[in-house]
Amino acid sequence: MTQEEKQLLLKDICARLSYGTEISLTDGTSGMITSIKIVPHGTFVTVYFNRDSVEDVSLEDIKPYLRSLSNMTEKERGQYMDFIEWSYNDYDGTTTTCIDKERLHEYLNFIYSHHLDDNNLIEKGLALEATKGMYKTK
């Protein structure tokens, strides 16, 4: 895992702390992450599952369970589209989307509370696809 990937994963997990995000550790432990304590140099973190803690876990051993954007429900898709100011499909198949900057906080709350993978962590191998029913959709 590159330093850039570690930073992206840590930022993403920290942003999701108050949203009840489930994670999996490579040793098979899984649960809802409630807080993270970063030790010097950001190499290891202490992960707390409710009141239990797992000490000195490498970021490389943590994978959050997220939902890909393609798995949004119709209702979620409608809510998501409310945040879009404009979207452009390029000739090479890429899509550029601009979020209404006045509603950015609402957008991020929506993404995190619905456990959606807006940073493509699943595609990068940094997160796991949440199983159906793992998170209740709103």
**CATH at 48:** 2.30.30
Look at residue 50 in the predicted model and tell me its pLDDT: 65
94 and 43 housed in the same domain: no
**Number of DSSP helices (H) and strands (E) in the chain, helices first:** 3, 8
Per-residue pLDDT reduced to its tens digit, 65-99: 999 999 999 999 999 888 888 777 778 877 777 88
58 and 19 housed in the same domain: yes
Per-residue pLDDT reduced to its tens digit, 14-53: 899 889 899 998 888 888 887 777 776 666 777 777 667 7
108 and 77 housed in the same domain: yes
Taking a C-beta distance cutoff of 8 angstroms, is the pair 56, 48 a contact?
no
Whether 129 is in a domain gets the answer no
Q: How far is CA 81 from the centre of its chain?
A: 19
> How many domains does the structure of the chain reveal?
2
Does residue 122 surpass a pLDDT of 90?
yes
Neighbours of 60 (CB within 10 A): 14
16 and 60 housed in the same domain: yes
Whether 81 is in a domain gets the answer yes
Domain with 58 in it: 3-65
Residue predicted with more confidence, 53 or 115: 115
